[in-house]
Structure 1
Amino acid sequence: MKEELIAPCGMNCSLCVNYQFYKGDLNKEGFHKTYCPGCVPRGKNCTHMGYKCRLLGEGLVRFCFQCEKYPCKDLRALDKRYREKYHMSMLENLEEIRLKGIGAFLKNQNLKWICPNCGELRCAHNGLCLFCELETLQKNKKYCWNREKLET
């Protein structure tokens, strides 16, 4: 896991479905996902929050906790959505980085999200390891964290 894959808002881009599709070039398996190399590597600083926050949009802070308005209402709303839908908290991520440092955070994220079968990282957006459980997603492209939603 690379430090540059941690967005300023606390998103771990290495767990993002679009990053994992990019990393594994998984559209060749019959999908049509947008590929993304990560917020910071593609020069967006933070895809989720950069358009709402001048400091993030212009890259003036590395992490949201460096802002005097932290945590702003937009970050709290993003955090709530990710906690409810994806079992990830931006605010918890940012607090861990702030208190323990980026190295400890990366180590803990790797332990938390590693696939026990193949050693790759699971995807935060659907809970699957896209490198050894891709068949589950191929059968149901709307699969999300054991709440199967059949396509209509």
Structure 2
Amino acid sequence: MEDNLIAPCGMNCSLCVAYQMKKGDLKKQGFNRKYCPGCIPRGENCTHMGDRCELLKNGRVRFCYECGEFPCKRLKGLDKRYRTKYHMSMIKNLQALQKNGMVAFLESEKKQWACPKCGEPICCHNGLCLHCDLEILRENRRYRWNEEDA
């Protein structure tokens, strides 16, 4: 995991299905999904928050926790959706980054999101390792986290 894949809003882009699809070039395997290199590598300050936040839009902060309104109403809403659907919290990510720094945060993320079979990151959007679990995704393209994983 790389520090430039941590978006200002706390999203770990290396866990995103669009990033993982790009990294594995899964269109070649019949998956017609949008690719994304991550917010920072593609020159976006944050695709989730940058359209409404002047500080992010203009690149005046690297992370939302640097703002006096952290966590803002929009981030709270986004965080609730991600906690409920995708088993991750952007606010917790930002708090861990602020408290422990980038190196410790990336180590923690690597351990937390590692596939038990191969060690590659699992996808936060569906709970699958796109190296080991492609057949599950092929059978159900809208697959999202098993109930027992909730």
Give the TM-score normalised by the residue count of structure 2: 0.96
Question: For 1:60-119, what per-residue CA distance to the aligned partner results, in whole angstroms no more than 9, with x for missing partners?
Answer: 100000001111000000000000000000000000000000110000000000111111
Identical-residue share of aligned pairs (%): 61
**Superposed, which structure 2 residues align to 1:34-73 within 5 Å?**
34-73=34-73
Unaligned runs of 5+ in 2: none
Query: Cα deviations across residues 106-135 of structure 1 (Å, max 9, x unaligned)?
Result: 000000001111111000000000111011
Amino acid at match of 1:85: K
Aligned residues: 147
Structure 2 residue matching 1:85: 3-state secondary structure: helix
**Following the alignment from structure 1 to structure 2, what is the Cα–Cα distance between the partners of residues 115 and 107?**
14
Aligned to 1:150: none
Q: Which residue of 1 aligns with 2:131?
A: 131
Q: Tell me the amino acid that sits aligned with residue 74 of structure 1.
A: R
Deviation at 1:57, TM superposition (A): 1.1
Distance 1:37 1:60 in 2: 22
Runs of 4+ in structure 1 off by over 6 angstroms are: none
Q: TM-score, normalised by structure 1?
A: 0.95
**Cα RMSD after superposing both structures:** 0.7
- Are positions 1:32 and 2:32 aligned together? yes
Q: In the alignment, which residue of structure 2 is the partner of 1:79? A: 79
